């Protein structure tokens, strides 16, 4: 997309109309400012539409990478434009949930189009009573089970790569790729988030 001069684009704010009365009837001044109007019209059009440039659902496609940088979002130019828009729009929400089951499930669904179920807590234990003996040590592994949702197949390598990126550093995450939802799956794979 280009935001360069657009032939024939009228200026909403013609300079010639804003000149003092002395120049209102001056042919040279009016022609000169009309030339400036042609150059400035795209600038005014961009400024008039600035809120649309900052909204990922409305912004020109070539602005999405720039907006993603602002919010620390994931943007891949190879993705369809609608998926890129959604990833940028939801970036802040996904950051809020990063490192949690919900965050991992939502990121897998948004970015890779897979449903997921996450079990295990990565080895965290606690007690709600002061001085009580700690509960038994949990399994130190997080199991991420994925199956197709938006896409027909699941790219296991991409899933593993994304899970490695999103799982907390102190956890061991194992990925299983399933052909469909696990038996008894009713809620679409929210993994109890």
Model confidence at 58, in pLDDT bands (50, 70, 90)?
very high
CA angle, residues 189, 186, 168, in degrees to nearest 5: 20
Quote the tokens at residue 96. Answer: 């809020």
Report percent pLDDT > 70 for the chain.
Answer: 88
Average pLDDT over every residue of 156-185? 85
177 neighbors 144 (Cβ within 8 angstroms):
no
Which residues, listed in sequence order, are joined to residue 177 by a DSSP beta bridge? 146
Q: Considering only CA atoms, which of 51, 84, 79 is closest in space to residue 66?
A: 84
- The segment(s) of the chain belonging to CATH 3.30.300 are 100-125+137-181
User: Whole-angstrom Cα distance, residue 146 to residue 116?
Assistant: 4
Contact in structure between 146 and 116 (CB atoms under 8 Å): yes
Round the average pLDDT of the chain to a whole number and report it.
84
Quick one: average pLDDT of 137-155? 83
More confident residue, 99 or 136: 99
**Hey, what are 121's tokens?**
């807590």
Tell me what the mean pLDDT of segment 142-161 comes to: 89
The highest-level CATH class for domain 100-125+137-181 is alpha beta
**CA–CA gap between residue 40 and residue 79 (Å, rounded):** 34
The whole-number average pLDDT for the span 74-98 is 89
Q: How many other C-beta atoms are found inside a 10 Å radius of the C-beta of residue 146?
A: 25
Q: Per-residue pLDDT for 124 more than 70?
A: no
Q: Does 190 have pLDDT greater than 50?
A: no
List Cα–Cα distances, 125 to 121, 131, 133, 136, 139, in angstroms: 9, 14, 11, 8, 10
**DSSP-based three-state secondary structure for 94:** helix
- So what's the pLDDT on residue 183? 80
């Amino acid at each position: 997309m280009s935001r360069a001069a657009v032939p024939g684009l009228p200026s909403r704010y013609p300079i010639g109309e804003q000149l003092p009365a002395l120049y209102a009837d001056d042919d040279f001044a009016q022609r000169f400012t009309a030339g400036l109007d042609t150059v400035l019209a795209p600038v005014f059009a961009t400024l008039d539409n600035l809120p649309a440039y900052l909204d990922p659902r409305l912004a020109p496609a070539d602005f999405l990478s720039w907006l993603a940088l602002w919010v620390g979002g994931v943007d891949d130019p190879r993705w369809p434009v609608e998926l890129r828009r959604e990833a940028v729009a939801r970036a802040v929400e996904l950051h809020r949930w990063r490192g949690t089951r919900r965050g991992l499930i939502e990121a897998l669904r948004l970015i890779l189009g897979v449903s997921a179920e996450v079990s295990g807590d990565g080895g965290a234990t606690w007690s709600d009573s002061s001085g009580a003996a700690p509960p038994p040590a949990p399994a130190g592994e997080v199991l991420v089970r994925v199956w197709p949702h938006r896409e027909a197949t699941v790219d296991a390598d991409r899933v593993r790569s994304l899970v490695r990126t999103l799982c907390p550093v102190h956890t061991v995450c194992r990925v299983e790729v399933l052909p469909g939802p696990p038996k008894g799956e009713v809620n679409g794979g929210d993994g109890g988030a």
